Structure 1
Amino acid sequence: MATPPLAQSPIGIPRSRVRQLMAASIGNVVEWFDWYTYSFLTVYFSPQVFPKTDNPLVPVLSAFAIFAVGFFMRPLGGLLVGAFADRYGRKAAMTFTIVLMGGGSLLLAVTPTYTAAGVLAPIVLTLARLIQGLSVGGEFAAATTFLVESAPPGRRGLFSSFQYVSTTIGQLLASGLAALLASSLAEGDMDSYGWRIPFVVGAVISLVGLWIRKGAEETSTVAEEIKKGEVERPRMFEFLVRYPTKAALIVGITVAGTVAYYTWTTFLPTYAQQNVNFDKADSLTVSTIALVFFMILQPLLGMLSDKIGRRPMLITFGLAFTLLPVPLLGMLTNSFASLLLIQCVGMVFLGCFTAISAAVNSELFPTRVRASGAGFPYSLTVAIFGGTAPLIGTALKDAGNSGLFPWYMSALALISTLVYVFALKETKDQPLS
């Protein structure tokens, strides 16, 4: 008797795989909603949490400095949670990260003002961001390997793209809620209590993500073999000792992508406010529209990479961000259409990186050290270059040299482009070992 075919989803993926996609993606939505809410609401809560000064940029700089500090916990999360995922499985690691993120969001929601608590206010804010940074670093290590390992043959690019589909949904929810609050509340109410509402929402929906992830199926065969005593546990830095070239390669692959991503999807509204006096509420609306466009692009570009390969996509991205940031940001005005056009054009090329980032990183390492091998160097690079992008852009503006920021982006993009052309081999047809 013939074996009945697996039930298929409307896009031709077995429904069991769709459940895996949902488990990783919905939890990731929660993670990134909480993470990005901080960035979108910085201009509202920074004057409340930090002491007042004559220069209104100083509290914003302080808040972005803590934003960067949160990023520097991401490598530690990538290392520790990545090693945990390699030893005990992806599912257990993803459960841990979403609990951490919910706790960090709740702590942000109850952060006292500087007027009420003095120096304790920025200390609580910093602690919350450290917790979230640890969670996000671990989330990438566990969830991206889980996504790629769950993919059917020839669909790793498509499955990889859901890393940023879910990230963008979380960002959209954060941006949309921030825009809704900014447009419906008086500015005084937004400054006093309105900015706390999204953090409360993030803490609540973390529980939903936790429930959904309980239904996921483990993807790491090594974790089961370790549990049975059939193989030894991977050591903490085994990925670096055995595969140093691949770890270095991930750094080169990621440098341009992380700066471009955090500039174009997170910092650009603030950049427009600082440099062309763009309206706060309008900048959030533009960002929301552009993010919807960006999200739709991800699976399309992921499927394209499954056909033409990863290298052509990355080279296209690298060349675009080497050549375009200076003229694009030079065209920016306080017109709604100007910011929307510039953001969408950049996102077309940025998608060539984000849609396949998880697949490229995971395809470089064997299952035994995949989570830590992909998670740590990626998170370290994001911390050094992505997390500091808003801080560098704001500091250059404060120093009167805002025109240097797009050149900074182009220089880093050129470095990654050279890596894509001369050091990266095509991996789309290689089986996951």
Structure 2
Amino acid sequence: MSHPPRPKASSARRVIVASLVGTSLEWYDFFVYGTAAALVFNKLFFPHFDPLVGTLLAFATFAVGFVARPLGGVVFGHFGDRLGRKNVLVVTLLLMGLATFAIGLLPTYGSIGAWAPAILVVLRFLQGLGLGGEWGGAVLMTLESGHPRRRGLNASWPQVGVPIGLLLANGVLSLMGGISSNTAFLTWGWRIPFLLSGILVIVGLWIRRSLAESPLFQESSDAPTDAHPPIVEVLRRYPRQVLLAIGARVGVDVAFYIFVLFITTYVATYLGLPKSYALNAVFVAAALQIVFIPWFGHLSDRFGRRPVYLLGAVGAAIWVVAFFALLDTGNALLIMVAAIVALFLHAAMYGPQASFISEMFPTRVRYTGASMGYQLAGIVGGGLAPIIATALLDHFHSSVAVSVYVVAMLAVTVACVLAAPETCRADLQAAPEPSGAARTAAARQEA
């Protein structure tokens, strides 16, 4: 079987840098919203509720973005599989940036009443659409453009956009909180990070427009294609891969949003400690993830995706108990240790995750299939995690129930990773075997 010409190292690096910059900006937008939901949206858009209930409602609007992400994955995945990865990435970045900028201009409940949270939900939905299409394109550009033996490392770089985006979001919000009084921050300070998105998007668009299309996609686009839309082929031929991808991701997502978002609610609202304790801890831990994630991606190229992934999942399930115990001490240093170890273990799952999920699908439907599995998990994982955790804390007044919830979700991830095949040596030009049900249906048609 002939292989596409291998791109020069400089070309692969350019793709990685462009994907990383764009993904970092999109996650900045996403996390600015999440952190603001934990800190101020309960006061600005749901002012007539108890603080914990208001936070719960603010997290509900946060979850809307996760509901929109699978739709964005399917819509943009369709065009990414049919028309190419590059142009879709430009559109998703623009959509996310404009929605975030508009949130910075949005009047609060005190100005326009119930219209404020309603418009907030719409803008959050648009954010979710953009991010739903972003992940698959950014990961596939790096996965399909680099050396076959470095797919785990290359595909992990767009994942690094998550801690970079988190750093930018928390850094800007912390800066605004530091230079403005509490009243000024609630009045106008929280808007600045959202408005900055407009400038950042222009930079990201300029970088992405210089990219060349993925070599593997160019080769597959010359071959005969199935007449059915990519989503139909994925559901008919690869349903098992989609389900395994969802399960492999769901525990990772739950753990992450407990470690980086719910920590703020727990420390500031439940324990009554300065919110800076949580923000600083997450800031340092996220900075270290910039190194941890590609390192674990590299290890997955050497030892396989599954062993590295399982190390992180089992470790995180054990650590979550110690995580809350350290938070309960009220000691700023121990809270930081809790966050650093938590995100180290998360990186062990997140580093190989992009290549592991993407390698389950053939090139002609890889954008759609990988995006579906990844983004559907976000609804029951990251989208609901802060809501469920806050509700459990409100009902039981203890972190034990939250820990049990995280461990249960990580158990699902462990089971699905064990059930999935090892993909680090898979030939991306060869279509994976369809699931058993799809093979049976095909055999009946041939008969």
Q: Does the pair score TM above 0.5?
A: yes
Structure 2: how far apart are the matches of 1:151 and 1:170? 24
More off after superposition, 191-200 vs 287-296? 287-296
Instruction: Summarize the Cα distance change of 1:164–1:111 in structure 2 as closer, same or farther, 3 Å threshold.
Output: same
Q: State yes or no: 1:260 paired with 2:255.
A: yes
Structure 2: how far apart are the matches of 1:113 and 1:252? 38
Aligned partner of 1:246 in structure 2 is 241
Selected match of 1:424 from 397, 420, 427 = 420
Structure 1: how far apart are the matches of 2:295 and 2:359? 20
What does residue range 130-279 of structure 1 map to in structure 2 within 5 Å?
Answer: 130-219=125-214, 221-222=216-217, 226=221, 230-232=224-226, 235=229, 236-279=231-274
Shift of 1:222: 4.4
Shift of 1:374: 0.5
Selected match of 1:40 from 35, 44, 62 = 35
CA contact under 8 A between 1:61 and 1:394: conserved in structure 2? yes
Query: Match of 1:203, as an amino acid?
Result: G
CA contact under 8 A between 2:104 and 2:192: conserved in structure 1? yes
Aligned partner of 1:405 in structure 2 is 402
Q: Counterpart of 1:154 in 2: which secondary structure?
A: helix
What does residue range 104-143 of structure 1 map to in structure 2 within 5 Å?
Answer: 104-143=99-138
Instruction: Summarize the Cα distance change of 1:181–1:237 in structure 2 as closer, same or farther, 3 Å threshold.
Output: same
Offset from partner CA, 1:67-122 (integer Å, 9 cap, x none): 01111001101111111100110001101100100111111111111111011110
Aligned partner of 1:281 in structure 2 is 276
Query: Match of 2:385, as an amino acid?
Result: A
The unaligned stretches of length 5 or more in structure 2 are: 1-5, 430-447
Query: Match of 1:269, as an amino acid?
Result: T
Q: Counterpart of 1:419 in 2: which secondary structure?
A: helix
Q: Counterpart of 1:427 in 2: which secondary structure?
A: coil
Selected match of 1:341 from 316, 337, 356 = 337
Instruction: Summarize the Cα distance change of 1:221–1:157 in structure 2 as closer, same or farther, 3 Å threshold.
Output: closer
Query: Match of 2:82, as an amino acid?
Result: R
Structure 1: how far apart are the matches of 2:34 and 2:372? 23
Aligned partner of 1:375 in structure 2 is 371
The unaligned stretches of length 5 or more in structure 1 are: 1-5, 8-12
Structure 2: how far apart are the matches of 1:234 and 1:78? 17
Aligned partner of 1:30 in structure 2 is 25
CA contact under 8 A between 2:101 and 2:194: conserved in structure 1? yes
CA contact under 8 A between 1:20 and 1:147: conserved in structure 2? yes
Offset from partner CA, 1:161-208 (integer Å, 9 cap, x none): 212212211111111111111112101000111000000001221111
TM-score w.r.t. length of structure 1? 0.93
Q: Counterpart of 1:191 in 2: which secondary structure?
A: helix
Selected match of 1:384 from 364, 380, 387 = 380
Structure 2: how far apart are the matches of 1:402 and 1:206? 41
Query: Match of 2:235, as an amino acid?
Result: L
Query: Match of 2:139, as an amino acid?
Result: T
Structure 2: how far apart are the matches of 1:341 and 1:237? 46
Offset from partner CA, 1:233-263 (integer Å, 9 cap, x none): 5513211111111111101211211111222
What does residue range 75-86 of structure 1 map to in structure 2 within 5 Å?
Answer: 75-86=70-81
Q: Counterpart of 1:324 in 2: which secondary structure?
A: helix
Structure 1: how far apart are the matches of 2:261 and 2:157? 19
Structure 2: how far apart are the matches of 1:301 and 1:224? 30
Shift of 1:224: 6.9
Structure 1: how far apart are the matches of 2:351 and 2:211? 23
Q: State yes or no: 1:414 paired with 2:411.
A: yes
More off after superposition, 266-275 vs 357-366? 266-275
Structure 1: how far apart are the matches of 2:396 and 2:296? 38
Query: Match of 1:413, as an amino acid?
Result: L
Q: Counterpart of 2:423 in 1: which secondary structure?
A: coil
Query: Match of 1:181, as an amino acid?
Result: M
CA contact under 8 A between 2:16 and 2:158: conserved in structure 1? no
Offset from partner CA, 1:20-79 (integer Å, 9 cap, x none): 0111111111100100001112212331122323x1222211110000111100110111
Q: Counterpart of 1:425 in 2: which secondary structure?
A: coil
Aligned partner of 1:102 in structure 2 is 97
Counting aligned pairs with the same residue, the percent is 34
TM-score w.r.t. length of structure 2? 0.90
Selected match of 1:364 from 355, 360, 363 = 360
RMSD of aligned Cα (Å): 1.8
Structure 2: how far apart are the matches of 1:229 and 1:299? 33
Structure 2: how far apart are the matches of 1:392 and 1:45? 18
Shift of 1:387: 1.0
Offset from partner CA, 1:315-349 (integer Å, 9 cap, x none): 11121123221233123222111110111111221
Q: State yes or no: 1:57 paired with 2:13.
A: no
More helix by proportion, 1 or 2? 2
Q: Counterpart of 1:218 in 2: which secondary structure?
A: coil
Runs of 4+ that moved beyond 4 A: 220-226
CA contact under 8 A between 1:141 and 1:376: conserved in structure 2? no
Aligned partner of 2:292 in structure 1 is 297
Aligned partner of 1:3 in structure 2 is none
Structure 2: how far apart are the matches of 1:327 and 1:229? 53
Count of residues in Structure 1 that have an aligned counterpart in Structure 2: 420
Q: Counterpart of 1:420 in 2: which secondary structure?
A: helix
Query: Match of 1:342, as an amino acid?
Result: A
Q: State yes or no: 1:395 paired with 2:391.
A: yes
